[in-house]
Amino acid sequence: MSDAQQPQQHPIGEIVASHRLAADCVVLLGWGAEPLAHEGAAMLDDRRQDRGRYRAAGWRMDEDGTSRHWFVAALRAPGVGEAADGARLRLHGAGAVRPVLGCLPAFDPTAGAFAGELVRRLGPHSQAATRFLLESFGARASRGIPAVSALIGAVLLAGSEEDGVIEILGPIAGEGLFLQGWMRHPRVAGPRLLLQGERLEEHAAACATFSRADVEAPALGFVALVRPAEGNAPEAPRFVYFRAGNHLLRLGVLSGAMRLPADEAATHLRETLPHLRGDPAAERALLAAARPRFAGQDTVSGLSRPVRMAIDLAAHVKGAGWYVTGWLLDPMNQVAAVSIHGSDRSAERIDRRWTRVVRADVSAGFAADPLFQGRIGHDKHGFTVFVPHDGDDMRAWFELELGGGDLAFMPLAVTAMDGTDERRRLLESFDVHKSSAQEIVERQLGPLFAAAAEAPRERTGHSVLRAGNDTSDAVLIVPIVESSLRTNVIAAGLATCGPGDAASIVFVCSPSAAESARSLQRELDFYGLDASVLMADAPLDACDAFGVGVAATKADKLLLLSPCTRPVTQDWARKLLDALGDGSVPACASPTLLYEDWSVRYAGIDGVRFLDVPPFADATSARAGYPRGWSRAEAPKVTLAASLEACALTRSAFEKAQGFAGAFALTGNAGLDLFLRMRTAGVRMSWVGEVELYGLDDAVDAGEYWRRTGEMVDGWCLRARWQGRVPPAINVVPHASDAPIADVPPGEPSLRVAVSGSR
């Protein structure tokens, strides 16, 4: 619009004060004959091409019989902060017919001068103007932009009423900032306070008052706990502001205020508690903040009461939570509650969720202690508990609530247990022979492993120790994750009965089996085996190793082979891969697996049985234990699940199931879970009976304790994930009709096969 087209009659008005916040931002105080719209366009008259915006609040005021519409405006336009005194400013409100024109006065040199002018001109409306500026700039002020903070501070100071002082202040660890003083008017502040110091911050607060003889009525003593939503206690302020009705009140912090060290503020608050009056929520918050603080020391061992405690294992599993085992000896029931507290302020009662464990050794150890002599009536002092926890901060301690409001603390030396070896240590943390074992699995370790499985998993990286030829359409992946493996046996086996041209070979090693990786490379060189050797960046189990291998390769068809599985024929790999068809359909196939005594180890899976007792879940493999050749199948047959000890699968099948879940301790159960998910996703699953491999027990480690307990925990996890959801199984027992290879869609039993449903 040209000047010629602009209305020639401008409303009467004047900009009486202005303050520069930035080169493109100013605040204005002025009036007009007509109300200024709350927002609109703004521009300097000589820079119409640089249009800006403004926001404003206004009030009608009658002065000497004349009505004037005063306004405060926050304005952002290019160059406005650098405009010369007298520069013409055009404010065109949204929906207004005519703009307001005015000349910029000289900028007030200080925020205080502008604030003083604002209070003087607006009188009773100055607090509303202050609120407007707070809404417009409060967020920026809290970020500490000096000019804005100065403006808001000056406006607050000018627009608020002094109501008292803060005399004592100090941080309370994990809670916030404690303030104490008095206020002139008996109005309870809150629930939010504005703290003005180097920055302006607004926080929730729990406030209460108390009587003081040293201040004149109706003034009252005042305490507040400022509780930031996150992070540490706010810095000590110079002023504290709060709203009471339409009033903005101010408490100044005395220059000689007592500043309490971190541990003393809570003690001071605790001593004040009996005299405080506030709303119930505030009183509860203050009570909680006033409790004794954990100072890093074990205070249980020094109790004069017959209460003792020790921690055997304190672990934190990322994405799952804390897992703690130990014992609490409390024969006189002195402990009312036990809770775990995290440095991130998380807290959870554990005595409502823990599993108590018989610990006769604890009874025996304290039987002669004068404090406990004759008082120990049972042995169930042990405990095992899993506490879900989302955060990464694993620092924690136990808080014991004792009769009479006393508290005692037990520090926890928490260890991160996210790796494979650490998970095994967790599995070794309970005694399978004790009656509590089942409950520990069902209530503690099972949920822990299940929660860990749901947590996002970081992909493990790898480095290439030995580069082989990977031009085949298929890749054979062999995990080397145990240091006890005889790599010469593995290499010799694949050198004589390897996949040949059917697949390239990739070994994926765990750093925990670094020595095996080194010897493997030597053996591969000796036997002249063309194979790649990858070293994972972090210790991993066989499933994770398979995952690394899959991610590190591009072949459309995969062969997964346990290092304990021994091929004995030349063509096993080709036949297994052929069972996948052309690879266009997601498919998976396993061969017959035999034990060393030539009995059947795997010949298809025809169902999963769920139990109320350990092992909780049990996959039934058709013909398992039968003599080799009992009923050798010539053609591949549909089955419920393949075997991770040896299987061929399309990459699409692996991706459909989204790889392995992290819930399982043992490879076999992780594999069953994977194959059930594949099956649920419609992946064709078959058993190739004519191909025979030897699946040898990982006997070097079979006696390891964690495997026994791992079976229980895995069984629980399988039951939790699959009970009532197992896709239809194909019964391949000899007397049933042997169905030819064909897929059975999930949930749609075939008429030709027997379906064994899950409980």
Partner 1 sequence: MRVLVISHGHPAFSIGGAEMASFNLFEGLNRLPGVEAFYLARAAHPLARHRQTPLMSLRQGTRETFLWADNYDHFLLSNRATEDLTGAFRRYLLEVHPDVVHFHHFIGLGVEALWEVRHTLPEARIVLTFHEYLSICMHHGQMVKTQKKRLCSRASPADCHGCFPEVPAARIFERELFLKSHLQLADALVSPSRFLLDRYVKWGLPAEWFTMLENGIDTSNVAPPRPIAPGARRSRFGFFGQVTEFKGVQVLLDAVGRMPDSVWGDDAALCIFGGNLENQPEAFRNAFEALIERAGRRAKFYGSYQAGEMPDLMRQVDWAVVPSIWWENSPLVIQESFLHGRPLIVSDIGGMKEKVTDGVNGVHFRVGSAEDLADKMTQVLTDPSAWERLRAGAPRPISHQDAAEQHLALYNSLFGADRRAA
In the bound complex, what is the minimum distance in angstroms from residue 570's beta carbon to partner 1?
10
In the bound complex, what is the minimum distance in angstroms from residue 492's beta carbon to partner 1?
5
C-alpha closest to that of 344 among 410, 299, 389, 387 = 389
The residues, ordered by sequence, that sit 6+ positions from 191 with a Cβ below 8 Å of its Cβ are 204, 205, 206, 207, 282
Q: Give the CA dihedral 697, 703, 708, 710, nearest 10 degrees.
A: -70
In the bound complex, what is the minimum distance in angstroms from residue 470's beta carbon to partner 1?
23
Contacts by 667-670 with C-beta closer than 8 Å and gap 24+?
Answer: 667/541, 667/542, 667/543, 667/562, 668/643, 668/644, 669/617, 669/711, 669/714, 669/715, 669/717, 669/718, 670/541, 670/543, 670/644, 670/714
User: Nearer Cβ to partner 1, position 267 or 488?
Assistant: 488
Cis before 586 (ω within 30):
no
User: Nearer Cβ to partner 1, position 198 or 596?
Assistant: 596
CA distances from 126 to 116, 122, 148, 447 (A): 10, 5, 18, 59
Question: Which residues make up the interface to partner 1 (CB under 8 A)?
Answer: 486, 488-489, 492-493, 495-497, 522-523, 525-528, 564, 566, 568, 595-597, 694, 696-697, 699-700, 702
In the bound complex, what is the minimum distance in angstroms from residue 495's beta carbon to partner 1?
8
User: What is the per-residue burial (b if ≥16 Cβ within 10 Å, else e) of 225-262?
Assistant: bbbbeeeebbebbebbbbbeeeebbbbbbeeebeebee
In the bound complex, what is the minimum distance in angstroms from residue 496's beta carbon to partner 1?
4
User: Nearer Cβ to partner 1, position 171 or 499?
Assistant: 499
User: Nearer Cβ to partner 1, position 404 or 528?
Assistant: 528
User: Nearer Cβ to partner 1, position 92 or 566?
Assistant: 566
User: Nearer Cβ to partner 1, position 557 or 566?
Assistant: 566
**Which H or E element spans position 497?**
helix 487-497
C-alpha closest to that of 384 among 454, 320, 308, 448 = 448
In the bound complex, what is the minimum distance in angstroms from residue 694's beta carbon to partner 1?
7
CA distance 654 to 678: 7
* 3-class state of residue 715 by DSSP: helix
In the bound complex, what is the minimum distance in angstroms from residue 476's beta carbon to partner 1?
18
User: Nearer Cβ to partner 1, position 106 or 700?
Assistant: 700
**Which H or E element spans position 178?**
strand 176-183
In the bound complex, what is the minimum distance in angstroms from residue 563's beta carbon to partner 1?
11
Residue 652 token pair: 């699409």
Residue 193 token pair: 């306070």
In the bound complex, what is the minimum distance in angstroms from residue 489's beta carbon to partner 1?
5
Residue 141 token pair: 């002020």
**Which H or E element spans position 314?**
strand 308-317
In the bound complex, what is the minimum distance in angstroms from residue 491's beta carbon to partner 1?
10
User: Nearer Cβ to partner 1, position 488 or 620?
Assistant: 488
User: Nearer Cβ to partner 1, position 354 or 694?
Assistant: 694
Q: Give the CA dihedral 633, 636, 640, 645, nearest 10 degrees.
A: 80
User: Nearer Cβ to partner 1, position 497 or 538?
Assistant: 497
User: Nearer Cβ to partner 1, position 158 or 476?
Assistant: 476
In the bound complex, what is the minimum distance in angstroms from residue 523's beta carbon to partner 1?
7
Helix count (H) and strand count (E) of the chain? 17, 36
Where on the phi/psi map is residue 658: left (φ > 0), alpha (ψ -120 to 50), or beta?
Answer: left
CA distance 330 to 573: 62
CA distance 409 to 292: 9
